[in-house]
């Protein structure tokens, strides 16, 4: 079976656009959570969110004038991350006259998708009887595959181009499915990841469920508090993360810079049984998923140096932490480090896993573990793991293996095992 | 309105070129455009975007473009004639 490596990355995150800014924010524990004034106007309880800063000034670097009229934020984030990743991998953006790249495809998912287009354009036009005035680009903005479709066109991709959706597990799942496609020999390279826009209409349903944080509106940067005793719900986020996954032989042949190897991955579903439901994970299935990823990786669980958790800052965090010792066979006396990228970017929904996988690969490649911020008061149920949670950035040159988990509505789970590339 | 009705072919043509600037993929063909220039064939306007161009024509010239007009516009000159005809009513 073919080995699959990460040879490029692009990220559009609330605390940084591009790898350099994102890494800087991760190292220094810089939050991208801000007050979102329109949420107050709309009577949300949660008034904070994670929105990528300053992308509008760069639109001409990525899109011609016609494209700019036919894309929404979700498509913009996916495209910027994809083009950055493509260039980071050493490729040039091809001309519109080029032959399709038959060996390269994309699996780029989204959780909710083009909600802003539906709310701001589609619904008002239809309700006012102005169908004729909607223009040509509504379908391409609201179809589930909008984010992969636009990337396929921008980069001239000729292999499979599709979008998956598995709620908050979407980004991880896209990467796992893309790895499988390369391993099976159907593609040499895949762009893989997830994207999500930042419409209040995406976030409103979560606010109604009372799962969004509503206690820290006056201190937005402290609002996302995974692992903390004073966590008060998740902070909604947005953005995109894209990895260039490549067959090892291909990457070596073109002398590409290799960040990491993906040595294992698994997805499953708890079937809404054994304590699982539409909105809560079946702990048995979580443990099975983690074990399956480790089994595929062919490693001893003791080799895992760190865990990048799903860890959203809801009541579910302690349960998630306690699932890991069961899956790894490692108690608090020999537990890996564990951190939560969401503490700085919020929960980016369909983009969450992909943005967080970008953080994982950066940490492996550069040899550091980013702090998990806002958990000075670790939750009492996981006090025994407190010293395994980085509160400041840890330089760790010998960091080799990180496990990345993600869980989503629908009782779906995903787990990836990343290994630092050490030249063989 | 009288001023708009007095527009000659050249004025309409120039306004169209401005609108096509966003949609024409072949900018050189647009720079050298004549009434005989094909909208899709020469300017390489994505055929799906013709409806967006028509909406901009409607707004610019204050007219309604019907489906039968839509299907006749292959060249820029076709569009100029159609718009001039509507403005003369």
Q: Contact at 8 Å (CB) between A240 and A193?
A: yes
**A66·B55 Cβ contact <8 A:** no
C-alpha to C-alpha distance for A96 and A48, rounded to whole angstroms: 40
Coil, helix or strand at residue A115: helix
Coil, helix or strand at residue B56: helix
Interface contacts A/B by beta carbons within 8 Å: 20
B10 CA: distance to closest CA in chain A (Å): 25
CB environment A38-69: b (16+ within 10 A), e (fewer):
ebeeeebebbbbbbbeebeeeeeebbeebbee
User: Which among A96, A135, A137 is the nearest to B25, CB-wise?
Assistant: A96
A70 CA: distance to closest CA in chain B (Å): 10
pLDDT tier at A245, thresholds 50, 70, 90: very high
The position carrying tokens 């006749």 is B72
Of all residues in chain A, what percent carry a pLDDT higher than 90? 97
From A64, A68, A54, A63, select the one nearest A21 (Cα to Cα): A54
Contacts (Cβ under 8 Å, ≥6 apart) of A378: A227, A228, A229, A385, A386, A389
Residue B21 contacts A, CB cutoff 8 Å: yes
Beta bridge partners of A267: A414
The complex's ipTM? 0.85
Cα A83 to chain centroid distance, Å, stands at: 17
Residue B49 contacts A, CB cutoff 8 Å: yes
Residue B7 in this model has a pLDDT that exceeds 80: no
> Which tops the pLDDT comparison, A55 or A390?
A390
Residue A124 in this model has a pLDDT that exceeds 90: yes
**B21·A65 Cβ contact <8 A:** yes
Residue B32 contacts A, CB cutoff 8 Å: no
pLDDT tier at A250, thresholds 50, 70, 90: very high
Contacts 24+ apart (CB under 8 A), A121-130: none
> Which tops the pLDDT comparison, A271 or A54?
A271
From A300, A293, A305, select the one nearest A264 (Cα to Cα): A293
- Segment A247-267 shows an average pLDDT of 98
pLDDT tier at A189, thresholds 50, 70, 90: very high
pLDDT for the residue A41: 97
C-alpha to C-alpha distance for A367 and A160, rounded to whole angstroms: 34
pLDDT for the residue A284: 94
Of all residues in chain A, what percent carry a pLDDT higher than 70? 100
**A133·B55 Cβ contact <8 A:** yes
pLDDT tier at B1, thresholds 50, 70, 90: very low
pLDDT for the residue B6: 53
User: Which among A65, A96, A133 is the nearest to B22, CB-wise?
Assistant: A65
- Segment A132-155 shows an average pLDDT of 96
Residue B2 in this model has a pLDDT that exceeds 70: no
């Amino acid at each position: 079976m073919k080995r699959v490596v990460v040879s490029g990355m692009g990220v559009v995150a609330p605390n940084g656009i591009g790898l350099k800014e994102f890494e800087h924010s991760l190292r220094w524990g810089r939050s991208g959570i801000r007050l979102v004034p329109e949420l107050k106007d709309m009577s949300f309880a949660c008034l904070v969110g994670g929105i990528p800063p300053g992308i509008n000034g760069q639109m001409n670097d990525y899109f011609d004038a016609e494209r700019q009229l036919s894309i929404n934020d979700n498509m913009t984030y996916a495209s910027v991350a994809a083009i950055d990743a493509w260039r980071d991998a050493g490729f040039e953006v091809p001309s519109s006259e080029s032959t399709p790249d038959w060996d390269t495809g994309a699996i780029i998912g989204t959780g909710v998708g083009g909600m802003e287009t539906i709310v701001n354009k589609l619904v008002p036009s239809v309700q006012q009887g102005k169908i004729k005035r909607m223009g040509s680009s509504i379908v391409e903005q609201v179809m589930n595959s909008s984010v992969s479709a636009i990337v396929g066109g921008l980069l001239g991709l000729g292999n499979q181009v599709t979008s998956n959706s598995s709620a908050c597990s979407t980004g991880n799942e896209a990467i796992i499915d893309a790895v499988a496609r390369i391993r099976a020999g159907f593609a040499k390279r895949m762009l893989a990841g997830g994207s999500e826009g930042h419409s209040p209409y995406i976030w409103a349903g979560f606010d109604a469920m009372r799962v969004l944080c509503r206690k820290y509106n006056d201190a937005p940067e402290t609002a996302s508090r995974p692992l903390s005793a004073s966590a008060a719900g998740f902070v909604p986020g947005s953005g995109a993360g894209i990895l260039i996954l490549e067959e090892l032989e291909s990457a070596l042949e073109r002398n590409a810079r290799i960040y990491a190897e993906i040595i294992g991955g698994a997805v499953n579903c708890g079937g809404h049984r054994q304590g699982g439901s539409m909105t809560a994970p079946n702990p048995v299935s979580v443990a099975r998923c983690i074990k399956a990823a480790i089994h595929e990786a062919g490693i001893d669980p003791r080799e895992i140096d760190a865990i990048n958790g799903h860890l959203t800052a809801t009541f579910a965090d302690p349960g998630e932490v306690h699932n890991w010792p069961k899956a790894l066979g490692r108690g608090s006396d020999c537990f890996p480090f564990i951190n939560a990228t969401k503490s700085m970017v919020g929960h980016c929904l369909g983009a969450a896993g992909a943005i967080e996988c970008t953080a994982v690969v950066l940490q492996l490649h550069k040899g550091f573990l980013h702090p998990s911020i806002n958990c000075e008061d670790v939750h009492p149920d996981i006090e025994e793991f407190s010293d395994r949670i980085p509160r400041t950035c840890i330089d760790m040159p010998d960091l080799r293996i990180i496990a990345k988990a993600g869980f989503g509505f629908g009782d779906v789970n995903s787990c990836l095992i990343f290994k630092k590339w050490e030249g063989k | 309105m009288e001023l708009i009705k007095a527009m000659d072919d050249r004025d309409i043509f120039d306004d169209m070129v401005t609108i096509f600037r966003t949609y024409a993929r072949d900018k050189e063909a647009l720079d050298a455009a004549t009434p005989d220039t094909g909208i899709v064939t020469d300017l390489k306007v994505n055929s799906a975007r013709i409806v967006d161009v028509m909406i901009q024509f409607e707004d610019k010239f204050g007219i309604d473009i019907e489906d039968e007009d839509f299907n006749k516009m292959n060249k820029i000159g076709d569009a100029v004639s159609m718009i001039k005809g509507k403005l003369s009513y």
